[in-house]
Amino acid sequence: TDFVKKSTGKSLQLYLLSLRQTPRECSDYWAEWKHCRSLRNRFHNYYTHGTAPECQQWKLDYKACREWEETASTQAKDALQQSEKNRLEEQQRYPPVWALRKKPPPDWHLPLDAHKSKP
């Protein structure tokens, strides 16, 4: 706190930049890479999409995350942020499968087999 009060200009900016954290924990990128390379995930991806999953980006993100944490490299930070941005854009590219309801059906409070009990 005394450092922040006494600091001005670039040193304050560098101090504040050092407090910023990565978008995710580095261990999350490592876990995603390990999961992507697992036999179960590879089989599921091959069965579902017909190809093996691309796992290299998770490892690159892990390395950039570690570099950002250890050296505060702006290049690693930019690469990691761009990768996260690309990942979010990829998720938003596909519309939802189900249409969301605005309100519940009019007979939502009735028992499910109410139509069967009538002759």
As given in the structure block, the two tokens for residue 93 are: 């590219």
Mean pLDDT score across all residues of the chain: 81
Mean pLDDT over 29-58 rounds to: 94
Q: Is residue 102 part of a domain?
A: no
pLDDT value for 2 = 46
pLDDT value for 4 = 45
Q: Is residue 19 part of a domain?
A: no
Q: Is residue 66 part of a domain?
A: yes
DSSP the chain: -HHHHH--THHHHHHHHHH---SS-HHHHHHHHHHHHSHHHHHHHHHHHSS----HHHHHHHHHHHHHHHH--HHHHHHHHHHHHHHHHHHHTSPPSSPPPSS--TTTTS-TTHHHH--
Overall number of domains in the chain: 1
Q: Is residue 105 part of a domain?
A: no
Domain with 40, as residue range(s), is 24-92
Q: Is residue 43 part of a domain?
A: yes
Distance CA 56, CA 51 (A): 15
Percent of the chain beyond pLDDT 90? 39
Q: Is residue 7 part of a domain?
A: no
Residue 38, Cβ neighbours under 10 Å: how many? 13
Residue 76, Cβ neighbours under 10 Å: how many? 20
pLDDT value for 117 = 58
Q: Could you report the per-residue pLDDT of 79-90, keeping only the tens digit for each?
A: 998 999 898 888
pLDDT value for 119 = 54
